[in-house]
């Protein structure tokens, strides 16, 4: 048994040896076997998720490979017209990226100031009681199904926008931005609040002792000290906004275009993937493969962002 483990998975074997054998030596045999079986199942379940992730990545790459055999990478990345399903076909992904970043930027304009101010309020101003009330309320925001947000944007926010700004189209980036902003708010607030809380009390006291107001201490000392972690929370929120699908599909529309006007309909990368998945594009065709190419791009972008956030979070303090 042990030898097979060792051959198949040296890492797991080492781990088993380090964590079990020292105390296990003195235990009766049947307990040692039982322990090993338990560990086997624990490890096996964690391998399931690793395996599934690997599988998804494999499919993303292999299906995209089919696409990139037909369309040069440069045409895909830098082309400004996206029309894969209608003739004349064109595979420039920039309009989708434009749509995604338009919605994300709009979301950030809302979520960043509101999220940061809420985090500062929670961490530096609110009494323990208020805090214990507000934090769970924020968590609820992130528990609302995203389709509800999409519906809310379409049937509530868009009509309001249309009354204020008549040029607003039925599908528009603005209403999507607003709900995505609300959806990412808990990420920024909660993680930034945690970040502010890690700033030692002694630093705050040092600042107060110099005749600083609470606002000066919060914004110029506490926030600055926690900046790397706050930055990480913002990056994670951006990553979440970029990956957001349901709300933007419902609210922002399905018109890939290079526009900076948030009151027009656009299409995001995620919304395009939904369109292909729901449509009747036959498997194996280039139209079908486009969604994997877009998916791969999306995956690389969010992975990079998450990686950056991790770097900020675990950066060694000098």
Partner 1 sequence: MNQQSITKPYEKAVVEVKNLSVFFNQNEAVKKVNLSIPINKVTAIIGPSGCGKSTLLRSINRMHDFEPIARLEGNIFLEGEDILLKSVDAVSLRRKIGMVFQKPNPFPKTIYENILWGPKINGFKINEDELVEQSLRQAAIWDEVKGRLFDSAISLSGGQQQRLCIARTIAMKPKVILMDEPCSALDPRSTGRIEDLILELKNEYTIVIVTHNMQQAARISDYTAFFYDGELIEYGNTSKIFTTPVLKQTEDYISGRFG
Query: Is residue 207 within the footprint of partner 1 (CB under 8 A)?
Result: yes
Buried b (16+ CB within 10 A) or exposed e, 277-314: eeeebeeeebbbbbbbbbbbbbbebbeebeebbeebbe
Query: Is residue 211 within the footprint of partner 1 (CB under 8 A)?
Result: yes
Query: Is residue 196 within the footprint of partner 1 (CB under 8 A)?
Result: no
Query: Is residue 130 within the footprint of partner 1 (CB under 8 A)?
Result: no
110 to 129, contacts with partner 1 by CB under 8 A?
127
Query: Is residue 202 within the footprint of partner 1 (CB under 8 A)?
Result: yes
Least CB distance from residue 221 to partner 1, whole Å? 6
* DSSP assignment string, 154-190: IIIIHHHHHHHSTT--SS-HHHHHHHHHHHHHHHHHH
Of 105-113, 186-194, 221-229, 230-238, the segment contacting partner 1 by CB under 8 A is: 221-229
Query: Is residue 209 within the footprint of partner 1 (CB under 8 A)?
Result: yes
Of 133, 112, 121, 130, give the one whose Cα is nearest residue 222: 121
Query: Is residue 203 within the footprint of partner 1 (CB under 8 A)?
Result: yes
Least CB distance from residue 190 to partner 1, whole Å? 23
Residue 219 or 259: which CB sits closer to partner 1?
A: 219
Residue 208 or 263: which CB sits closer to partner 1?
A: 208
Of 302, 307, 130, 119, give the one whose Cα is nearest residue 226: 119
Of 22-30, 171-179, 214-222, 247-255, the segment contacting partner 1 by CB under 8 A is: 214-222
Give the Cα separation of 32 and 21 in Å (integer).
Answer: 9
Count the neighbouring beta carbons within 10 Å of the beta carbon of residue 131. 15
Residue 173 or 221: which CB sits closer to partner 1?
A: 221
Looking at the DSSP bridge assignments, the partners of residue 83 are: 90
Looking at the DSSP bridge assignments, the partners of residue 70 are: none
Contact between 85 and 287 (Cβ < 8 Å): yes
Residue 122 or 250: which CB sits closer to partner 1?
A: 122
Among 221, 235, 273, 298, binds partner 1 (CB under 8 A): 221
Of 252, 305, 250, give the one whose Cα is nearest residue 102: 252
Among 146, 225, 270, 289, binds partner 1 (CB under 8 A): 225
Query: Is residue 29 within the footprint of partner 1 (CB under 8 A)?
Result: no
Among 15, 205, 277, 307, binds partner 1 (CB under 8 A): 205
Cβ contacts of residue 281 below 8 Å, gap of 6+? 85, 287, 288
Cβ contacts of residue 184 below 8 Å, gap of 6+? 107, 108, 111, 115, 237, 238, 240, 241
Residue 29 or 210: which CB sits closer to partner 1?
A: 210
Query: Is residue 296 within the footprint of partner 1 (CB under 8 A)?
Result: no
């Amino acid at each position: 048994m042990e030898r097979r483990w060792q051959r198949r998975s040296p890492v797991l074997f080492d781990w088993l040896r380090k964590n079990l054998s020292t105390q296990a030596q003195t235990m009766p045999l049947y307990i040692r076997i039982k322990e090993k079986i338990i560990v086997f199942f624990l490890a096996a379940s964690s391998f399931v998720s690793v395996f599934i992730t690997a599988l998804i990545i494999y499919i993303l790459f292999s299906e995209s490979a089919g696409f990139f055999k037909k369309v040069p990478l440069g045409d895909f990345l830098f082309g400004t017209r996206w029309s894969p399903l209608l003739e004349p076909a064109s595979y420039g992904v920039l309009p989708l990226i434009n749509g995604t970043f338009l919605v994300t930027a709009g979301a950030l304009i809302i979520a960043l100031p509101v999220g940061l101010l809420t985090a500062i309020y929670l961490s530096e101003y609110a009494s323990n009681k208020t805090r214990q009330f507000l934090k769970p309320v924020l968590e609820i925001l992130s528990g609302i199904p995203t389709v509800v947000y999409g519906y809310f944007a379409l049937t509530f926010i868009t009509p309001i926008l249309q009354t204020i700004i008549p040029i607003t189209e039925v599908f528009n980036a603005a209403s999507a931005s607003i709900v995505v902003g609300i959806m990412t708010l808990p990420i920024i607030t909660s993680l930034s609040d945690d970040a502010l809380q890690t700033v030692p009390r002694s630093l705050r006291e040092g600042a107060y002792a110099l005749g600083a107001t609470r606002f000066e201490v919060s914004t110029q000392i506490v926030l600055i000290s926690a900046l790397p972690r706050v930055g990480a929370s913002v990056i994670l929120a951006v990553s979440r906004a970029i990956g957001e699908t349901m709300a933007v599909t419902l609210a922002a529309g399905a018109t890939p275009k290079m526009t900076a006007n948030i009151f027009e309909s656009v299409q995001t990368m995620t919304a395009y993937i939904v369109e292909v998945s729901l449509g009747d594009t036959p498997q194996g065709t280039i139209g079908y493969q486009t969604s994997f190419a877009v998916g791969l791009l999306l995956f690389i972008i969010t992975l990079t962002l998450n990686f950056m956030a991790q770097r900020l979070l675990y950066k060694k303090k000098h």
